[in-house]
């Protein structure tokens, strides 16, 4: 009896770097109705079972650094999940309806093999989301639907293949951190100048992009603050509006074959 009572009181399970390859190995530790935090990072999981949705009190799920290639559609029905970390895995797509989370605030998809083609139609409709980490993936663009993430404060897009940014990003007025370094951006839409991203409490990362000379010069002289001041000028708005999409050469993609998330995955 004492053992059963002890199990009932376990609301947090953390098994990090334990060589776990299946959820069945830890199922005896989990009381589905009361567990609130589950951390299985740095293991060898390849599959997340559909019955993950039975963890009705789960608020935080950390699966960082496993070998997961896909997630079950049921995961988005977790009613209390606020934090989901599936970074450093082998995801190439997200399941249909993934954007149906009702309480999700922090989503980390860093270091996978995701692109704009990997996302379900409702992905950018998670209005509770405060932080979205999409760094080290394969995005070349983001849809204008991103404007629906109205509570977003942190957006990390570093080290992708982004060629453009949607002007709709400028509507995310609560954004305080924007990381777009290490992409293939030549210009920045002037609408992004609406965002207050320069200051001691803000973070704006722009480096390692093949910017056109007028932006790169501003960055070299005055850093990110200089770029932001420049894209807010009428001169830049006029210049940007006159550019043809084909007028700027497309920078080459970077070689990502050595990414950990690529190992063992057949490339198309």
What percentage of the chain reaches a pLDDT higher than 70?
Answer: 90
Judged against a pLDDT cut of 50, whether residue 35 lies above it is answered with yes
pLDDT band with cut points at 50, 70 and 90 for residue 252: confident
What percentage of the chain reaches a pLDDT higher than 90?
Answer: 87
CB environment 47-68: b (16+ within 10 A), e (fewer): ebeeebbebebbbbbbbbbbbb
Judged against a pLDDT cut of 70, whether residue 54 lies above it is answered with yes
Instruction: Write down all domains in the chain, each with its CATH number in brackets.
Output: 87-262 (3.80.10.10)
Q: In three state form, how does the secondary structure of 67-115 look?
A: CCCCCCHHHHHCCCCCEEECCCCCCCCCCCCHHHCCCCCEEECCCCCCC
C-alpha 216/C-alpha 223 separation (Å) is 9
pLDDT in tens, 203-226: 999 999 999 999 999 999 999 999
Task: Kindly tell me the sign of the dihedral angle through the C-alpha atoms of 162, 112, 103, 181.
Answer: negative
Cβ 55 vs Cβ 77: under 8 Å: no
**Which of 9-13, 65-69, 151-155, 199-203 shows the lowest mean pLDDT across its residues?**
9-13
C-alpha 240/C-alpha 123 separation (Å) is 29
Closest CA to 146 of 120, 172, 182, 164: 172
pLDDT in tens, 234-244: 999 999 999 87
Report the pLDDT value the prediction gives residue 2, as an integer from 0 to 100.
47
Cα atoms in the 13 Å half-sphere on the side-chain side of 196: 5
The helix (H) or strand (E) run that includes residue 5 is: helix 2-8
Task: Please classify residue 31 by burial: count the beta carbons closer than 10 Å to its beta carbon, then call 0-12 exposed, 13-18 middle and 19+ buried.
Answer: middle
The whole-model pTM stands at: 0.92
DSSP assigned state of 136 = S
């Amino acid at each position: 009896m004492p053992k059963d009572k002890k199990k009932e009181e376990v609301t947090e399970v953390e098994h990090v770097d334990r060589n776990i390859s299946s959820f069945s190995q830890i199922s005896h530790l989990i009381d589905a109705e009361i567990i609130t935090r589950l951390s299985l990072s740095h293991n060898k999981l390849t599959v997340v079972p559909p019955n993950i949705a039975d963890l009705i009190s789960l608020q935080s799920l950390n699966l960082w650094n496993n070998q997961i290639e896909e997630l079950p559609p049921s995961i988005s029905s977790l009613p209390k999940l606020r934090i989901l970390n599936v970074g450093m895995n082998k995801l190439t797509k997200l399941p249909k309806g993934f954007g149906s989370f009702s309480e999700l605030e922090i989503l980390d998809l860093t270091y996978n093999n995701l692109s704009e083609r990997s996302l379900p139609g409702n992905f950018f409709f998670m209005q509770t989301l405060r932080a979205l980490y999409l760094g080290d993936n394969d995005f070349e663009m983001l849809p204008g639907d991103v404007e629906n993430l109205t509570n977003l404060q942190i957006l990390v897009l570093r080290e992708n293949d982004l060629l453009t940014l949607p002007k709709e990003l400028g509507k995310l007025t609560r954004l305080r951190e924007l990381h777009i370094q290490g992409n293939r951006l030549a210009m920045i839409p002037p609408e992004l100048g609406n965002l207050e991203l320069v200051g001691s409490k803000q973070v704006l990362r722009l480096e390692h992009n093949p910017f056109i000379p007028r932006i790169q010069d501003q960055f070299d002289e005055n850093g990110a603050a200089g770029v932001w001041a420049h894209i807010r000028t009428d001169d830049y708005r006029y210049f940007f509006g006159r550019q043809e999409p084909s007028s700027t050469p497309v920078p080459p993609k970077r070689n990502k074959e050595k990414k950990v998330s690529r190992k063992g995955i057949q490339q198309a």
